[in-house]
Structure 1
Amino acid sequence: MTTSAPSWTAGYVSELDYTHGYYREMSPLNLELAMLSRLQAHSVKRPLRYLELGFGQGLSLNIHAAACEGEFWGTDFNPTQAANARELAAASGADLKVFDLSFAELRDRADLPEFDIIVLHGIWSWISDENRRVIVDLARNRLAVGGLFYMSYNTTPGWSPAMPLRHLMSLHLNLATGEATGLGSRIDAAVDFAEQVVDSNALYFRANPAVAERLKGIKGHNRNYLAHEFFNADWHPMPFSEAADLLAQAKLSFAASSNLVSHIDTLHLTPQQQQLLASIAHPVLRESVRDYCENQQFRRDVFVKGPRGLSPQRQLEILQSHRFVLQVSEGDVALKLNGPAGEAHLQAEVYRPMLAVLAERGHAPKSAAEMLAHPLMKKVTPAQLAQALFVLTGLGNVSAAQDEVQVAAVRTRTQALNRHLVDKAVFSNEIGFLASPVTGAGVPVGRIQQLFLRAIRRGRTTPQEWALDIWPLMEAQNQRLMRDGKPIASAAENIAELASMGQDFAQKRLPILDALGVIERAGSASTVSPDLSIAAA
């Protein structure tokens, strides 16, 4: 990005680390379910071989390596991020090989095996054409026939109006600020400068008011995120058709979106748009038109090497053996959904009995066949159950689950990784996920919830004891809980608030975290962290 940048960065931001994000769309079970939902076959088996390119801090890679059987590989050019990923791998003991190699260096390794799954999150948009060609080479030569290739990327037309805004901010960062101020300060200056241009009544922003609104959202983002999203030397939102053409050189064909929510057409498309898309035979043209209908700006695509369709009957047959777990409280699942195209109402006669069945036996995982055989489900057809499972999985209420043998095989590793992550929560709120051996994926668990789990591991048995275990850690770091946007002042009030939160956690979240295998004692697996933040006193 600047002439003094180290040559190994190839123009990619290295001064500020990437965020510690987790992306469930890359989990093996989610990828396989996305394929099944779109009547697409694949050849992924267990144990699998899995490669992540440009893994950032390596949280997704490590959670998947710990929670799934197989051999995992990953590379990220940034040695600091690779070191963080290796630390997590050492904690879990997973079969994970972590490198700080460029994509070309990885491609040229003689010991690189053939992979069942290759994934990359966002990287495609922020690298050079040369590096995209290397990725295509990797997929062509190292992805197994029938294997899956996943990538998420910025796309047009959704990004088109804002591309000049990114150019303006990048121009200011490179031409109008000094390097000595540090990248974070230079980003702040670039954003402020763009705001000045908006306030000058510039005709571009008057003609594109949504871009000015986007700038307001940008100001609130974490600077580490903005550095990687907007300020790399290479930044190329790509239309779907162009991405599909490049990956066709690796014999890859588009199969599905890994974002199962996007499969709910009534949420995203008007009846007229659905009719229009149904009339388009070519899949690339159809997906491209869909992007225009939705003004899509970020795609999560699954490609397959060797596409093979499934009949609806075969889809239902395969689904029978798949297990699912309810990862929220039954009563928290809303049957009315809101989307860009309006409301969608889920059929209560299908969803309510299914949710009741999934909630039985403490949210124990259940196969689709087991659900269909339940007396509460006698009026639900296999096709209705399949659609409901795909919808609720896309919404995050339900997750696909591994079989009991797989769960037992990975439980020790996920417990070890989770211990390490929970111990890191003593000093940091950067990582908000733990690993589930049941789902083979990550589960959102915020910092305070993680500290509750740490207190449980330390033998504390009541919410009051959890609060007394946590408060000294916070006090030593000059931290307070927040209430109504303000820090809580006294120690007694902080402890009381922690105990209240602990009581809520024990009742609503702990049983679910237990069902997901996230904690070591009779616990519970959860979805979202409590609505609270930490502030310096």
Structure 2
Amino acid sequence: MTDWTAGYVADIAYTYGYYKELNPLRIKLAFLNQGFVFPEVGNACELGFGQGLSTNLHASASVVSWHGTDFNPTQAGFAQEMSRSSGNSAKLSDESFLDFAKRDDLPAFDYIGLHGIWSWISDENRRVIVDFVKVKLKVGGVLYISYNTLPGWSAFAPMRHLMVEHAHVLGTEGRGIVSRVEGAMEFATKLLQTNPAFSRANPQVGDKLAQMKAHNRQYLAHEYFNADFHPMHFATMAGWLEDAKLQFVCSAEYFDHVDTLNLTNEQLAFLEEIPDAMFRESVRDFMTNQQFRKDYWVRGARSLSPFETSETMRTQQVILTTHRRDVALTVNSRMGEANLSAEVYGPVLDVLADHKVKTIQQIEDALRDQGISYDKIVEAIMMLVGLGHVSPVNNEEDIAQAKKTTDSVNAYLCKKAFGSNDINYVASPVIGGGFMLGRLFQIFLASIMDGKKQPADFASYTWEILAKQGQKLIKDGQSLDTEEDNLKELKAMAKEFSEKTLPILKALKVI
């Protein structure tokens, strides 16, 4: 009997994760920051889309035509249901990569994305993907690919292997993958308590195991317990993609673009002495002990002149997606805790604080008298996008066209929130993708869709839904037992929602 899973965990569904790096809107700003020509994306494809949340939010919130496959029929079924509910016309299947690649009805793509899946599949499937990209990615098209990376995984990879072996050898198949994951982590904890030489030589292993325990077990099953698990060096990835004529452009993780928060001056000087850009990237991974890369590759990289770069960058539109007072100027970087310059970031945030769409040129004009240079403004925008406080913006025509489908998918997602906390996102046509919104705030949003106008009404609407299910709020670790206490807390939350979150949702045309 053929095992259709090919060693991939399939007896438990993957989490409902949304990955903003898959948003095609993010390509332009990242490419411009590196001085490269960027494509206009009309057709896009996601391989291994999981529950399909990213694909559906991007398809709903833009005019891009999306295709994709995920071999797990349960996940593909949910993705298709979500697509039908939004009317976004994404074409999603449960085919294997090989069967999907054989189809003759697929268009050529401007953009192909894979998040994480590369590290969890066999070399055979990797070859299928590379061949697919070789045939289906247009000249000038972009591949986004993320993967577990060496040297960052070098220390923990042996422990991960031991836990998988425990799950297969000592775990009971009938108990299910979650129980086997729990058993493997308990075994690893007991092993480390014996103070083995391995953990003495690799002291970070204990910290990594502690981090694992805090994660959702569905996530852990898919992230760590597949039969195939192959972290690889950047140079190895480059070797795989060479046959598809792909060239590395830059990280899709905007935080990586700000070198001063990732590298010391001595390290930067050392890297500048390396003439080969690809080898320089490999050395950089050693400096940062990179564990997970998110990269953009292009089929035919073309450089822009400095003038073309700056002039095009100045037309880039952005919007603040966090309340101004909630943006901290202290960040955790690879260099430790770092303070962002209040003299630069404060004024930039003040210009964006009204949550209106602004071009970088408009920000520059507004700050001209304060002596903040164009370069400083661009660096601040890159950092704020990386931190999730600012997002690139769709053009007005695309926003208007996508509004109908985002309204539909948001109604679907808010209704889902009545009974579960699985999906904490809604779609925005302004930013072309997902915006994080927790379950109770989603229900508040549903109440507005249902005609409610005041915070007290949002609270009552939400309590009625929770009470029907015997659910109560938890505050400071304690369950609120009475209806009065639950309504009081919901009213306080609804007031905060109305004052801080609702204006952002309106600016993003979520409502």
TM-score of the aligned structures, taking structure 2 as reference length: 0.97
- Per the alignment, in what secondary structure is the counterpart of residue 184 of structure 1? helix
Superposed, 1:39-438 pairs within 5 Å as 39-42=35-38, 44-46=39-41, 48-360=42-354, 363-374=355-366, 379-438=371-430
**In 2: Cα distance, 1:11 partner to 1:342 partner:** 38
Deviation of 1:179 (Å):
1.2
Deviation per CA, 1:308-339, whole angstroms, max 9, x where unpaired? 12233221111122211111122333334342
| Residues 357 and 376, structure 1, Cα contact 8 Å, conserved in 2 | no
Tell me by how many angstroms 1:150 deviates: 0.4
Distance 2:343 2:307 in 1: 23
Q: For the residues of structure 2 that align with 1:413 and 1:308, how far apart are their CA atoms?
A: 35
From 13, 26, 37, the counterpart of 2:9: 13
Within 1, Cα distance between the matches of 2:183 and 2:378?
A: 51
- Give 1:19 shift: 0.3
Q: Cα distance 1:490–1:377, how it changes in 2: closer, same or farther (>3 A)?
A: farther
Measured against aligned partners, the alpha-carbon deviations of 1:466-522 in whole angstroms (never above 9, x if no partner) come to: 111111221222222111112111111011001001111111111011111112xxx
- SS state of the match for residue 12, structure 1? coil
3-state SS of 1:419 partner: helix
Give the 3-state SS of the residue equivalent to 1:156 in structure 2: coil
Structure 1 moving runs of 4+ over 6 Å: none
CA contact (8 A) 1:266 1:344 kept: no
> Does the 8 A contact of 1:252 with 1:306 survive in 2?
yes
Cα distance in 2 between the residues matched to 1:428 and 1:367: 38
Residues 3-62 of structure 1, C-alpha deviations (whole Å, 9 max, x = no match): x8x6111111100100000000110111222111121213x225x100000000000000
- 1:34 counterpart letter in structure 2: A
Residue 420 of structure 1 deviates from its aligned partner by 0.3
Aligned length: 511
Kept after mapping to 2: 8 A contact 1:40/1:309: yes
Whether the aligned pair in 2 keeps the contact of 1:65 and 1:72 (CA below 8 Å) is yes
Q: What corresponds to 2:499 in structure 1? A: 507
Contact 2:347 2:367 in 1 (8 A): no
The percent of aligned pairs where both chains have the same amino acid is 45
- Asked if the contact 1:13/1:231 (under 8 Å) is kept, the reply is yes
- Paired with 2:27 and 2:142, the residues of 1 have a C-alpha distance of 8
Matched to 1:103, the amino acid is: F
Larger displacement relative to structure 2 (452-461 or 295-304): 452-461
Q: Distance in 2 between the 1:327 and 1:262 partners?
A: 21
Query: Does residue 495 of structure 1 match 2:487?
Result: yes
Measured at CA, do residues 207 and 56 of structure 1 come closer, stay the same or move farther in structure 2, by a change above 3 Å? same
Task: Supply the distance in 2 between the matched residues of 1:189 and 1:225 (Cα, whole angstroms).
Answer: 16
**Structure-2 separation of matches of 1:208 and 1:187:** 22
On the 8 A contact 1:267/1:337 being kept in 2, the answer is no
Could you tell me which runs of 5 or more consecutive residues in structure 1 were left unpaired when the two chains were aligned.
520-537
In the alignment, what sits opposite 2:449? Answer: 457
Instruction: Tell me the SS of whatever aligns to 2:298.
Output: strand
Distance 1:255 1:26 in 2: 16
Q: Helix, strand or coil for the counterpart of 2:150?
A: coil
Could you say what secondary structure the match of 2:452 adopts?
Answer: coil
Distance 1:239 1:345 in 2: 31
Partner of 1:7, secondary structure, is coil
Distance 1:338 1:84 in 2: 36
Instruction: Give the RMSD, CA atoms, in angstroms.
Output: 1.6
Q: Could you tell me whether the CA contact under 8 Å between 1:256 and 1:303 is conserved in 2?
A: yes
Aligned residue identity for 1:56: G
Q: Shift of the alpha carbon at 1:344?
A: 4.3
Contact 1:426 1:473 in 2 (8 A): yes
* Aligned residue type for 1:190: A
C-alpha distance in structure 2 between counterparts of 1:87 and 1:314, whole Å: 43
Gaps of 5+ in 2: none
User: How many angstroms does 1:375 deviate by?
Assistant: 6.7
Q: Deviation of residue 426 (structure 1)? A: 0.2
**TM-score, with length taken from structure 1:** 0.92
